[in-house]
Amino acid sequence: MAKHVAIILVTVLLGGLLGATLIRFAPGYGVDEQELDARLSAGSIEALRRASAPDENLFLFYGHYLKRMVHGDLGTSRTLQRPIAQLLRERLPDTMKSVGLGALLGWALGLALAIPVAMSRAWLVDALASVMAGILLCIPVAVLALLFVLTRAPARLVIALIVFPKVFRYARNLLVRSAALPHVLTARAKGLSHAGVFVWHVLPLAGAQLLALAGVSVSLAFGASIPVEVVCDLPGIGQLAWKAALGRDLYLLINLTMMVAVVTLAANSASDLLGGAFGRSEA
Amino acid sequence: MSKRWFASLFVMVLTLGSATAQSGTELRFCLWSEPKTFNPLLVQDDSSETVRYLTGGVLVRLNRQTQQLEPELATAWKTSRDGRTITFALRQNVKFSDGTAFSAEDVAHTIQQMMDPNLHSPTGDSFRSGEGKVETKVLWADKIAILFPAPIAGLDKLFDQVAIMSAKSPKKERAVLGPYYVAEYKAGSHLNLERNPNYWKHDSSGHQLPYIDSVRLDIQQNRDIEILRLLRGEIHLVNSLNAEYFDKVIAEKPALVHDAGPSMDSEQIWFNQVASAPLPAYKKAWFGSTNFRRAISESINREDLSRVVFRGHARPATGPVSPGNQFWFNTRLQPHPFDQKAAMKRLEQDGFRVQNGALRDKDGNAVEFSVVTNAGNRYRERMATMIQQDLAGIGIKLHVVTLDFPSLIERIARTFNYEACLLGAVNIGLDPSEQMNIWLSSAENHQWNPGQKAPETAWEAEIDRLMRAQASELNEKKRKEYFDRVQEIAWEQEPFIYLVNRNALSAISTSVQNAHPVVLRPQVFWNIDRLSLGSEVAQK
């Protein structure tokens, strides 16, 4: 557990530094589009430039940023001119709702199709689900989101359709392989029901790997939330990240990078720990 | 008896019904981004400007239809002969939205805040005429004089942008004098504006304005969704449409769209003439040549740009002032004609010649250059492609480079590492004084060669002189003469090659009454307090 926490901490800190470096050296950093406002006097343009100019070296900046963060000050967004803590408080619930709902539905649909395929060799379900998963894998997230907008479907479901094909394909292959093992076939030959075989013989074998996939699917859902929120105009973290990147909003981007890193690493670590516990209890 | 009773009951039900229909009316439309500020003095972005227009009370308002100033919180005003002092007589018995009384103290407070040099208010910067402090003298509770250190031409019109803030209200900038106040703001989602219960304006029949009870502004960055919502009847209006969406709406609901004619906005191309720019000397020589710039201008088919790129919803541009600006447009000027033969003659005067289909300068350098524009703007990308084809007609190779906005600004305003740039200009005000920071050679927004210590060309020196002269002249006729000459020099020298003036396109639900779209911003809701909603109310 302590090892996982240490890894998360180091990765988040390095991720934040890497994010800061990329933004700081990106073309257009430290430039404000308000500079083109013809109403502004030379003094105001100069003040704008001073305000957005990088005034210290990157490592010093990052050190100061971390010091302030420890005291609860996440800084102010340059593009939105609001405290970042407030922006995150307002937008995080929306994204968590989208990501949570999307991941849950994606898993439910993926497992609901993968289990019958593996246990009862339902070839028609297998063929249909595989085709559906294949199509969904081929469609870019933004296009899928746009289709939902045009059809007035709930945009949050897009994330479910991004998670579903990966869960289905992985779970299907894993369960089919587990179901084909000799001891499972023996149990089946002895007349154990499908449900019994699944619960007592297949799931224990596949459980740890499925839990590992759960961690990955959180990152997947988070990644998908950016185009979905941008295309569907959902006021969440994904939309904020997009705006921050376009506006070279250094503070906002560092905070978002670190936050997303914490969530995804925590999800992966949780699935690792649970998977490990699952494996040990089986042994 | 019973008949009369039933008749009375019937009338009462009808009255109640109509009252219910009228009460709770809500106008809905979209903002394309989140407002960055609710402080009216710090407004720069469009969304904050919309909120300021809907909530702010001003001393005088420029009627967007007649383009004339009208009294609002000031019943009368007078500018002194020297142009340094303006005196306002204020409306009495006016209250802010929170009930705080309005007086000359509030005007003084607003002006002092606005002119604070540390605030860097864009609104305040328009009033900076010279070194020295702006003073306010409260003469009575309803009379105030504002003294500027130097004359400001068109001074009264600048007050159209100054929303008066309360000096005493604990709600600070949230206490307003305009038709609405901000009742709710959900970040990233929407704003709800409620009718200001203390709004001073009444219609001719004594009914307190505004007619519509509330305005819901949904924050909608995706324009496709905005148009879909308009077509579905979920929002009432789109204040500014582009040509593509205009045609889309017209195909489905032609009654909704309005083309008010050429707007104040223009699209232009300019060459980098900065002496220190990291460009080869021979290219600097091309870009600095009037003949070269004029030849490029004459090689671009503006009619085609208007017809093809803007689907007929644009006009070939003449200069810095759109024909939509009724007073200041120089009617003697015409857009440069598309004439590649004339262009070649001009180029030959500078020693250019065509060899094997490619234009070469007198030293044999092939004429090719790049034009940068902002990525994601389909119209500019299409215009650049068409210009590329036009210039190929005289043997010039043009490379189109699209950059995201911060990278583009870095190049055109900081590193000057570009050859030509295609961008648009948004003119909010009508008065030429608002273009001082573009035309003065020392200004930072003198895009082709900003921040000159002394004018580097004779014609720029002449423009400097004329712009300063018009800014300190109070006689409108003389000012017009000066600025007409500036427009002529800009036409002759073409530091900016003006391409087109986009039309002011908008869409309004047929349920919105009293809407008269105009070319000035805000095109549709400029008379927000007079708008009303009919039976066809937008549904969520």
SS3 letters across chain A: CHHHHHHHHHHHHHHHHHHHHHHHCCCCCCCCHHHHCCCCCHHHHHHHHHHHCCCCCHHHHHHHHHHHHHCCCCCECCCCCCEHHHHHHHHHHHHHHHHHHHHHHHHHHHHHHHHHHHHHCCHHHHHHHHHHHHHHHHCCHHHHHHHHHHCCCCCCHHHHHHHHHHHHHHHHHHHHHHHCCHHHHHHHHCCCCHHHHHHHHHHHHHHHHHHHHHHHHHHHHHHHHHHHHHHHCCCCHHHHHHHHHHCCCHHHHHHHHHHHHHHHHHHHHHHHHHHHHHHHHHC
User: Tokens 């050429």 map to which residue?
Assistant: B262
From A27, A31, A39, residue closest to B125, measured CB to CB: A39
What are B387's strand-pairing partners?
none
Q: Given pLDDT bands bounded at 50, 70 and 90, which one contains residue A119?
A: confident
Minimal Cα–Cα distance from A281 to chain B, Å?
47
Q: Does A248 touch chain B if contact means CB atoms closer than 8 Å?
A: yes
Query: What is the chain A residue with the closest CA to B31?
Result: A233
Q: What is the pLDDT along chain B (540 residues), one digit of tens a residue?
A: 445 554 444 444 444 444 444 457 999 999 999 999 999 999 989 999 999 999 999 999 999 999 999 999 999 999 998 889 999 999 999 999 999 999 999 999 999 999 998 888 989 988 987 788 999 999 999 999 999 998 888 899 999 999 999 999 998 889 999 999 999 998 888 999 999 999 999 999 999 999 999 999 999 988 989 999 999 999 999 999 999 999 999 999 999 999 999 999 999 999 999 999 999 999 999 999 999 999 999 999 999 999 999 999 999 999 999 999 989 999 999 999 999 999 999 999 999 999 999 999 999 999 999 999 999 899 999 999 999 999 999 999 999 999 999 999 999 999 999 999 999 988 777 889 888 889 999 998 999 999 999 999 999 999 999 999 998 888 899 999 999 999 999 999 999 999 999 999 999 999 999 999 999 999 999 999 999 998 544 443
Minimal Cα–Cα distance from B538 to chain A, Å?
17
Cross-chain Cβ contact B187/A33 below 8 Å: no
The per-residue b/e assignment along B270-284, b for 16 or more CB within 10 angstroms, e otherwise, is bbbbbeebebeeebb
Query: What is the chain B residue with the closest CA to A86?
Result: B187
Cross-chain Cβ contact B220/A233 below 8 Å: yes
Query: Of A19-28, A78-87, B67-76, where does the model show the most confidence?
Result: B67-76
Cross-chain Cβ contact A233/B44 below 8 Å: no
Q: Which residues of B touch A44 (CB under 8 A)?
A: 120, 122, 125
User: Tokens 């000031």 map to which residue?
Assistant: B74
Cross-chain Cβ contact B437/A236 below 8 Å: no
| pLDDT (0 to 100) of residue B12 | 47
Q: How far is CA B330 from CA B119, B318, B333, in A?
A: 36, 9, 6
Q: Which residues of A touch B408 (CB under 8 A)?
A: 28
Quick check: bond before B149 cis, omega within 30?
Answer: no
Q: Which residues of A touch B425 (CB under 8 A)?
A: 38
CB atoms within 10 A of CB B99: 10
Query: How far apart are the C-alpha atoms of B420 and B407, rounded to whole Å?
Result: 15
Q: Which residues of B touch A86 (CB under 8 A)?
A: 187
Q: Which residues of B touch A226 (CB under 8 A)?
A: none
Q: Write down the H helix ranges in B276-434.
A: 281-288, 290-298, 302-304, 340-349, 378-392, 405-409
Burial zone of B130 (CB within 10 Å; 0-12 exposed, 13-18 middle, 19+ buried):
exposed
Chain mean pLDDT for chain A: 86
Q: Does A80 touch chain B if contact means CB atoms closer than 8 Å?
A: yes
Q: Which residues of B touch A150 (CB under 8 A)?
A: 228
Cross-chain Cβ contact B406/A248 below 8 Å: yes
Q: Check whether A80 has a pLDDT greater than 90.
A: no
From A45, A48, A239, residue closest to B188, measured CB to CB: A239
The residues of B whose Cβ lies within 8 A of any Cβ of A are 34, 36-37, 44, 117, 120, 122-123, 125-126, 128, 186-189, 219-222, 224-225, 228, 403-410, 413-414, 425, 428, 434-435, 437-438, 442-445
Domains of chain A: total: 1
For range A130-153, the mean pLDDT: 90
Q: Does A89 touch chain B if contact means CB atoms closer than 8 Å?
A: no
Q: Which residues of B touch A35 (CB under 8 A)?
A: 409, 413, 444
Q: Does A87 touch chain B if contact means CB atoms closer than 8 Å?
A: yes
Q: Does A151 touch chain B if contact means CB atoms closer than 8 Å?
A: no
Q: Which residues of B touch A93 (CB under 8 A)?
A: none
Q: Does A183 touch chain B if contact means CB atoms closer than 8 Å?
A: no
Query: How far apart are the C-alpha atoms of A210 and A208, rounded to whole Å?
Result: 5
CATH, residue A243: 1.10.3720.10
pTM value?
Answer: 0.84
Tell me the residue range of the domain where A82 lies.
2-282
Q: Check whether A6 has a pLDDT greater than 50.
A: yes
- Do residues B272 and B414 touch, judged by C-beta distance below 8 A? no
Minimal Cα–Cα distance from A79 to chain B, Å?
8
Cross-chain Cβ contact A47/B444 below 8 Å: no
Q: Which residues of B touch A237 (CB under 8 A)?
A: none
Q: Which residues of B touch A37 (CB under 8 A)?
A: 44, 122, 445
Cross-chain Cβ contact B444/A35 below 8 Å: yes
Q: Does A34 touch chain B if contact means CB atoms closer than 8 Å?
A: yes
Please name the residues between 91 and 110 in chain A that touch chain B, using a CB distance below 8 Å. Answer: 91, 94
| pLDDT (0 to 100) of residue B14 | 42
For range A164-191, the mean pLDDT: 87
Q: Which residues of B touch A90 (CB under 8 A)?
A: 186-188
For an interface test with B, the pick among A22, A36, A86 (most B C-beta atoms closer than 10 Å) comes out as A36
From B187, B225, B413, residue closest to A235, measured CB to CB: B187
Q: Which residues of A touch B219 (CB under 8 A)?
A: 233, 235
Name the token pair of A149: 């907008």
| pLDDT (0 to 100) of residue B4 | 52
From A40, A90, A239, residue closest to B125, measured CB to CB: A40
Q: What ipTM does this complex have? A: 0.77
Q: Do the bridges between strand B26-31 and strand B214-219 make them parallel or antiparallel, or are there none, so unpaired? A: parallel
Q: Does A142 touch chain B if contact means CB atoms closer than 8 Å?
A: no
